[in-house]
Each structure stands twice: as C-alpha cells, then as structure tokens.
C-alpha cells in the first residue's frame, strides 16, 4: 500500500512545535503523517530521506525566525526536493513584509500569524484549502527501485537490461532531461562528475542509495536468491535459458534436489526476444520475457532453486560426485550436472564498436531499448530469427529500421518473419552488406555500410543510425569446463553418438547417453550442445530429456 503523504512542521521553539504537531495530528492523522523538526537542517535532512524513499510531502508549515536557517531559506531548499508541496510560513506581526515578499520569490502559498488559536478558525481552514488543492493535482509517486542514469551510460543500460529481464519493476530517470531525475539526483548527492562518467545510482524503496552497484548487489537488495541453500544437490543446471528452465521444471517435479545457476537473467537469448510466433501452444505468439517468466515461476513453484546472477568458473571431479565452482570461490557438490549455458552474440570487431557499446550499440537488447528510439533511424545486424524479431519490434517505434545481412537472401530466417519484414514498410533490408565503421561522440550517430553484390563493385554509404542492435555469431559459454569435457572446434559440447569416445577418454563399459558428455554424469542441452537444433522448442525438449538421462545415470551409481 502507498504510504500516506507527509505534513512537515518546523519550529525551533519546542512548545510551539509541539502545539503545531498536536493540532495537525488531531485534524489530519487519518490521511497524513505528521513530521515535526526543531531546526531547518534537521527538517531538510528528513525531507531528503522522504524524497529518496519516493514519499510525498503535501505541506510545509515553517516558522520564519529560526537560528541558523530561516523559514524562507529552508523552503527555498526544500521545494527543490518536493516542488509540489504547499508552503505556509508562521510569522510574527513584524515579519509580514518578509512573508509577502516570499510569496513572489518562492511562491509561498500562505502565511499565518502566531499565535493561531483557535485552530478551528485560524489554522484548519487555511490548511484544508491548501490540502484540497494539493490533492487535486497529486499523482502517487512510484514506490520501488529507481535508477538514476544518463541515457548513454553503458552501465545504466546494463542495469536496465538486467532489471527488465528479471521482471524487477523499476523507474528509470535521466537527470539530463527529467525534472524528477534532477530532484532525486540532488537528494541522493549525485555529482555532475559521476553522471558525466556514466556512473548510475540506484535508489531502493527504503531510501537506500547504491552508487554504481553490481548486478549481484542489486539482486541481493531486491530479494533475488544469489546463494545456494544447500551444499549438495542431485543435479546442478548451468544456464537459465529455455533448456535450463525446462530441466529445472522436470528435475524439481520428479523429486530431484535441483539448483539452477544463471549468470545474467533467466530466459537466455530467448528472454530478449520481442515476439515468438511459432512456439507450440501459443497461436497468438508470446514474448520471450513472458515465456521466461512463466517457466521461472513454474520451476520455483515445484521446488527448484534459482541463483542469479551467478557465474560458474570451474568444474571438478570428486568421484562419484561433481563439484561446481562459482565466481566467488564457493563450491556446490552434486550427483550430476546439466550444461545449458547457451550461446552469446559475437561482438562487432570494427572501429567504434567497442567505444560505443552500451551507448547506442547493443547486443540482443531490442526489447529494453526500443522505445528510446521513437522516430529515429536504427540498424539491426544479423540474418537469424532473433535479428528478424528485433527488426519487426523496432519498426513499431523507429522511423526506419535498416536490417543488414551478409547473404543474398534471408535464408536462415523463419518464413513468418520474412513475410512480416516484407509487409513492414519502414524496414529496409540491405543484402550482401556489412558495417565497416561506427562513429559518434559519446553515443552512436552514424555507421558506414558497404554493400558488395556478386560480380559487382563494393558500394559504400553512411547511415544516420541512432542505435545498432547486433545479433551475429554463436559463441558457446564453455571455457569454464577446461579439459574435463570434450568440445568441438567451435567450443560446443560433444555428446552421445557424436562423441569420439577414444579421443575423449571415455572409460565406462556402457555407451554415453544421448545427451551425456565425455565426463560421465555431465550432460549438455540446448544451444550449447554440438549439432543441436537452434530452436526454442528443441531446447525445451532437450532440457526435459536431460533429466531422464540423469535418472538413468543415477541408477548406475
């Protein structure tokens, strides 16, 4: 429930302050909180904390004659933090000229002469009128995590993407062009130097200020699980994409003590997809975020633990057990491991790409950033389904979307996406094309596109791109496996029949199970597995199958 708005009373004369506080509580305690302070500095610090917690001040009732800080001096600073609050000054007869000037200088709403007894005649009618006026225009503030970061802050982008993909409600405020953002930055003590350096600030609902926090620090603060509850599990699943989530659902539902470890956010690449039209059972389609949210809730309901964001850095053998090492050096022992770590997009290796990453150049973040580029030109690099889905989604906001592919046709894309792209007038497809350079001061402003048709000469042109979304290459996240698990030349995990058992050192009498790697008890599912079908449905199927092979493996121990 939203907290009640606050009435702030300030007076250095304690008997007067207690009288003000008493009269306000008698009349308004049901709908408002009453905060009393006996100095301007004390009140200012309290207002700053209220602001950081996202709470609203409805009215200031302040004495003019206070040592250290007069009432007008207090109001001139307090209204920067709570600009919509009504302002009442308590004055002696000799201060009325000062109060009248304050009406013009700081938009003072009213002044009251002390003493005001009886309050029914001299206090309540004034305050009632001011609060009625304030309530008419009041919009309850957002109560949750708020992010203060510049639009082009790479770290700010990372946090927005992390919060979005983890379904954590948040409000993003850019102090450069948002009045509330400037006010909160002021209250949190954010310096111009920090903003210029791209350092984000996170404000929690309780008023806690986190300066340039890590994703794990944010996760711990908002209640996400980052540490395993047990030292030993039946199965540890590495990766929270569709295959990993499916394995978690089936593992937990079949009574296995199951923990899933995800380095970024549940959903994997599929979780960043704006629209999936060909997933079985959803004739109207669904977003990748919805699919991830449903699967995550299902896995948790069935008893699986989800650790995020945590990275796995190593694997050890302690027969008959397997030991997984996490990024902080802690270890989790288990009977079996399912590697479902998926693949990541390859980084562009052209001039300007590294410098502008997170400041106009994004890797698989179309859902998070699309709305920021309304009526601007953007680019998408890639010829697969992820690139096609991003282009269609971005076309709802951008004035023009340039889809850049190396091939002479969209052969790697599903037909439904090809049809949607053809029917979308503001998507332009550049075939047999590549970007050679990106340019911009502090953020992306232009890109050099080179098109080379077969048998023709290369043609170069500049595109005025405000953003570029990259969906190229597939790099498996398997370096942490070291030499224990056999992988192909691309780094994908070899399993089952395609495993060269002699070269991999397979030592058991039985054949490896279909999804089992060269190390017994370690399985691979989804995109990380060599020769897998790179589709969401097949990844889900492999995740479910892997649990059956885990059961078979456990039966051999």
Q: Which of 69, 104, 137 is the last residue of a domain?
A: 137
243 and 206 in a common domain = no
Q: Measured between alpha carbons, how far is residue 353 from residues 82, 365, 440, 446, 450 in Å?
A: 41, 15, 10, 11, 16
Residue 129 belongs to a domain? yes
Residue 355 belongs to a domain? no
Q: How many CA atoms lie within 13 A of 256 on its CB side?
A: 29
User: Rounded to whole angstroms, how far apart are CA atoms 552 and 534?
Assistant: 26
Residue 1 belongs to a domain? no
Structure tokens at 255: 């009574």
236 and 216 in a common domain = no
Q: What is the CATH number of the domain that holds 301?
A: 3.50.50.60
Q: Which of 449, 470, 491 is the last residue of a domain?
A: 470
User: Rounded to whole angstroms, how far apart are CA atoms 198 and 153?
Assistant: 5
DSSP 3-state of 258: strand
User: Rounded to whole angstroms, how far apart are CA atoms 281 and 297?
Assistant: 18
479 and 339 in a common domain = yes
Structure tokens at 389: 């889905």
User: Rounded to whole angstroms, how far apart are CA atoms 290 and 293?
Assistant: 5
pLDDT tens digit at each of 557 positions of the chain: 357 899 999 999 999 999 999 999 999 999 999 999 999 999 999 999 998 888 899 999 999 989 889 999 999 999 999 999 999 998 877 777 888 888 888 888 988 887 777 888 889 999 999 998 898 888 776 778 999 999 899 999 999 989 988 888 899 999 888 888 888 888 888 887 887 778 899 999 888 899 999 999 999 999 899 999 999 999 999 999 999 999 999 999 999 999 999 998 888 888 878 788 888 888 888 888 889 989 999 999 999 999 999 999 999 999 899 999 999 999 999 999 999 999 988 999 999 999 999 999 998 877 778 889 999 999 999 999 989 999 999 999 999 999 999 999 998 899 999 999 999 999 999 999 999 999 999 999 999 999 998 878 899 999 999 999 999 988 898 999 999 999 999 999 999 988 888 777 888 999 999 999 999 999 999 999 999 998 899 999 999 999 999 999 999 98
Residue 316 belongs to a domain? yes
Q: Which of 440, 470, 500 is the last residue of a domain?
A: 470
Q: What is the CATH number of the domain that holds 18?
A: 3.40.50.2300
Domain total for the chain? 4
15 and 122 in a common domain = yes
Q: Nearest 5°: CA angle at 536, between 534 and 541?
A: 100
158 and 35 in a common domain = no
Q: What is the pTM of this model?
A: 0.78
User: Of 238, 245, 171, 181, which is closest to residue 204 (Cα–Cα)?
Assistant: 171
420 and 322 in a common domain = no
DSSP single-letter state for residue 309: S
Cβ 261 vs Cβ 310: under 8 Å: yes
Q: Which domain holds residue 32?
A: 6-137
Residue 352 belongs to a domain? no
130 and 159 in a common domain = no
Q: What is the CATH number of the domain that holds 197?
A: 3.40.30.10
247 and 218 in a common domain = no
482 and 339 in a common domain = yes
Q: How many CA atoms lie within 13 A of 234 on its CB side?
A: 23
User: Rounded to whole angstroms, how far apart are CA atoms 188 and 178?
Assistant: 15
Sequence-distant contacts of 282-289: CB under 8 A, at least 24 apart: 287/367, 288/367, 289/164, 289/165, 289/167, 289/367
419 and 316 in a common domain = no
User: Rounded to whole angstroms, how far apart are CA atoms 238 and 264?
Assistant: 12
Residue 540 belongs to a domain? yes
483 and 338 in a common domain = yes
Residue 252 belongs to a domain? yes
Residue 457 belongs to a domain? yes
190 and 244 in a common domain = no
């Amino acid at each position: 429930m939203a907290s009640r708005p606050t009435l702030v009373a300030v007076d250095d004369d304690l008997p007067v302050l207690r009288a003000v506080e008493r009269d306000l509580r008698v009349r308004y305690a049901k709908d408002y909180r009453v905060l009393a302070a006996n100095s301007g500095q004390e009140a200012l610090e309290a207002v700053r904390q209220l602001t950081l917690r996202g709470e609203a001040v409805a009215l200031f009732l302040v004495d003019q004659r206070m040592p250290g800080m007069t009432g007008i001096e207090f109001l001139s600073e307090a209204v920067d933090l709570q600009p919509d609050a009504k302002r009442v000054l308590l004055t002696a007869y000799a201060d009325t000229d000062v109060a009248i000037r304050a009406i013009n200088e700081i938009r003072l709403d009213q002044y009251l002469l002390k003493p005001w007894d009886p309050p029914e005649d001299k206090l309540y009618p004034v305050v009632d009128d001011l609060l009625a006026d304030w309530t008419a225009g009041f919009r309850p503030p957002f109560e949750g995590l708020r992010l203060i970061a510049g639009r082009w802050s790479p770290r700010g982008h990372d946090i927005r993407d992390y919060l979005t993909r983890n379904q954590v409600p948040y409000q993003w405020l850019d102090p450069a062009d948002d009045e509330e953002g400037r006010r909160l930055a002021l209250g949190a003590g954010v310096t111009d130097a920090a903003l210029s350096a791209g350092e984000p600030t996170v404000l929690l609902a309780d008023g806690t200020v986190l300066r340039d926090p890590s994703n794990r620090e944010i996760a711990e603060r908002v209640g996400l699980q980052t540490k395993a509850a047990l030292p030993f599990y039946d199965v540890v699943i590495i990766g929270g994409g569709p295959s990993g989530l499916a394995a978690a659902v089936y593992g937990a539902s079949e009574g296995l003590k199951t923990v899933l470890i995800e380095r970024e956010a549940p959903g994997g690449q599929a979780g960043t997809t704006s629209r999936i039209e060909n997933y079985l059972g959803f004739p109207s389609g669904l977003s990748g975020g919805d699919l991830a949210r449903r699967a995550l809730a299902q896995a948790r309901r069935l008893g699986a633990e989800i650790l995020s964001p945590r990275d796995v850095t190593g694997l050890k053998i302690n027969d008959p057990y397997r030991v997984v090492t996490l990024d902080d050096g802690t270890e989790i022992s288990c009977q079996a491991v399912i590697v479902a770590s998926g693949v990541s997009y390859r980084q562009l290796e052209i001039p300007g790409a590294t410098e502008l990453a997170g400041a106009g150049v994004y890797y698989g973040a179309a859902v998070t950033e699309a709305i920021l580029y309304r009526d601007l030109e953007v680019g998408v690099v890639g010829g697969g389904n992820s690139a096609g889905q991003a282009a269609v989604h971005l076309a709802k906001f951008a004035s023009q979307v340039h889809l850049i592919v190396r091939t002479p046709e969209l052969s790697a894309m599903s037909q439904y996406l090809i049809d949607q792209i053809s029917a979308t007038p503001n998507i332009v497809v550049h075939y047999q094309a590549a970007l050679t350079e990106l340019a911009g001061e502090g953020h992306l402003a232009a890109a050099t596109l080179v098109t080379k048709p077969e048998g023709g000469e290369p043609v170069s042109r500049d595109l005025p791109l405000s953003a570029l979304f990259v969906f190229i290459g597939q790099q498996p996240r398997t370096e942490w496996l070291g030499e224990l698990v056999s992988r192909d030349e691309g780094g994908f995990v070899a399993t089952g029949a395609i495993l060269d058992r002699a070269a991999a050192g397979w030592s058991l009498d039985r054949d490896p199970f279909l999804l089992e790697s060269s190390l017994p008890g370690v399985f691979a599912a989804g995109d990380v597995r060599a020769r897998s079908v790179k589709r969401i449905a097949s990844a889900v199927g492999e995740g479910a199958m892997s649990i059956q092979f885990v059961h078979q493996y456990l039966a051999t121990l």
